[in-house]
Structure 1
Amino acid sequence: MATLMLSPRGGPALGTLLRPLCSWADGLLHGMAQPGTWDHFYTQQDTAGTPSHFNWFFDYTAISGLLLPALRECGSPEASPTRVLDVGCGTSDLGLGLYRDSPHPVHIACVDVSPVAIRSLHQLLQEAPPPRHPLSQIHLYVADATDLEGGGFGDGSFHLVLDKGTCDSLLRCPKGPGQAGRLVAECLQVLCPGGSLLQFSDEDPDARVPFLEQVGGAGVTVQEVGHIAGICYYVYTLGRPALETPTSGALD
């Protein structure tokens, strides 16, 4: 299972990590906002003919102890499924891990702009074990995380939105802050009142918290996930106020 670690925003280590990975790393560095870049990236990952998970930063097991309690805290009553959105999922094992392990029913939507990534993830899903809870579901979508409404995701659709590295990749693009800001706004819009957006990043809180407060509002909390391969990771949490009322129905 491959894992790629990104350095803090603008740091030089990203190129160092990518160059051994693929010969066209400079193109990836400068084209992270372009769908074609990711189609090329995930096509390269599947050159052996057998899809495999590719995880930015770390894999599901590194944060499962944090995610499963988060499902309980922001979810619906135990008899109803907790609705989870994984934005910019790529071929990560994050959504599949929650689908497999959650003791309570979950409906998970994995979204990526690259149809190549979604196709590979679909193949991996076919080989995955059944979910722990028989009512759990997982669905894969080709959609732009900076335009979730355009992708058919309504206001108030999810209890929990997960972003592992997607905001980071946008922040490294020429129009990074604007695109990343739209991503955060879209993620908050599709949250149920009282729901949470969790962003996993290696960016220091001194840089990430002011950005999130500017684009997402006050009330950002930060927790250290831990050190993995010498890099410190954080989870940043933003919520949608519980008093707000969504304007459209949730996803089935």
Structure 2
Amino acid sequence: MVPRRGTPALGSLLRLLCSRADGLLHGMAQPSVWDRFYAQQDAASPNSHFNWFFSYTTVSWLLLPALQRWGPPEPKPSPTRVLDVGCGTSDLGLGLYQDSPHPVHISCVDLSPVAIRSLRRLLQDVPPPRHPLSQLHLCVADATNLEVNSFEDSTFHLVLDKGTCDSLLRCPQGSGQAGRLVAECLRVLQPGGSLLQFSDEDPDARIPFLEQASGTGVTVQEVGHIGGICYYVYMLSRPPLQAPTNSAAD
């Protein structure tokens, strides 16, 4: 049986939101479509984050330990660098920024300037971060072509994708667009860094796609059931650099 591409949760959510998301299902790669969606969302709920799938609190138990994997050296801690691709107005990056006991530099990027503008306004009155050296940056950027915005190779320790790959897979050139997203996420990862992709798509469909797009192994963990739907986190790592071997002299 061929796994079904097109997960139920995102499609169901968009149908429920059809009065505010007219055309979204057929234009998810178009900035103008997302601009219209987030403008309507902002008008309806100007003081609220819009979270695809679930909010930060649902996965904080998983993300905070992931940050500690790159525990900063003492006594001079260096920040863990995190990229949230396709952030929209989600509270994912904000939650990590506020809760991390170690310094983090978080970059939240989205194709829609309207979403970034709304998120920037939502962040105006947030409490200071738990660690005084933590930083949160917002940027309008295409996650399938981050190089245009000067995101260099091997920059981040952790890349987060909550629903962005799912939306690209529904575009007319879905697998190609989503493949470029995965490639860009891996490009900006430091050796040994990880991409965490949150989705409700069944592992039988998502794992083969990710393996083909990345050329690396994929592990999956169940996040839990929310509203009767099972969510997963797919984890891909950029291989660490191999130490050079010294050949023994004869």
Q: How does the TM-score come out when normalised to structure 2?
A: 0.90
Match of 1:250 in 2: none
Identity of aligned residues (%): 78
* Per-residue deviation, 1:26: 4.6
- Residue aligned with 1:52, SS: coil
Partners of 2:62 and 2:218 in 1: how far apart? Answer: 17
Runs of 5+ in structure 1 lacking a partner? 1-7, 246-252
2:234 pairs with one of 227, 233, 236: 236
Match of 2:116 in 1: 118
Match of 2:246 in 1: none
Q: Deviations over 1:7-33 (max 9, x none)?
A: x73356644432332425450000001
* Per-residue deviation, 1:128: 1.0
2:64 is aligned with 1:68: yes
Runs of 5+ in structure 2 lacking a partner? 244-250
* Per-residue deviation, 1:48: 4.4
Partners of 2:130 and 2:47 in 1: how far apart? Answer: 24
Match of 1:192 in 2: 190
Q: Deviations over 1:127-148 (max 9, x none)?
A: 2111000000000000000001
Retained in 2: the 8 A contact 1:74–1:160?
Answer: no
Match of 2:92 in 1: 94
- The alignment covers a number of residue pairs equal to 238
Partners of 1:84 and 1:32 in 2: how far apart? Answer: 24
* Per-residue deviation, 1:196: 0.3
1:70 partner amino acid? A
Match of 2:222 in 1: 224
Match of 2:145 in 1: 147
- CA-atom RMSD in angstroms: 1.8
Comparing 30-39 with 12-21, greater Cα deviation is found at: 12-21
From the CA coordinates, give the structure whose radius of gyration is larger. Answer: 2
- Residue aligned with 1:17, SS: helix
Retained in 2: the 8 A contact 1:83–1:107?
Answer: yes
- Residue aligned with 1:85, SS: strand
Comparing 122-131 with 47-56, greater Cα deviation is found at: 47-56
Partners of 2:60 and 2:99 in 1: how far apart? Answer: 9
Match of 1:39 in 2: 35
Q: Deviations over 1:98-156 (max 9, x none)?
A: 00000000000000010000001101111211100000000000000000111110001
The change in CA–CA distance for 1:17 and 1:103 in structure 2 (over 3 A counts) is same
The 5 Å alignment of 1:209-220 reads 209-220=207-218
Match of 1:164 in 2: 162
* Per-residue deviation, 1:77: 3.1
1:184 partner amino acid? V
Partners of 1:205 and 1:13 in 2: how far apart? Answer: 15
Comparing 216-225 with 160-169, greater Cα deviation is found at: 216-225
Partners of 1:233 and 1:196 in 2: how far apart? Answer: 19
The change in CA–CA distance for 1:16 and 1:161 in structure 2 (over 3 A counts) is closer
Partners of 1:34 and 1:75 in 2: how far apart? Answer: 38
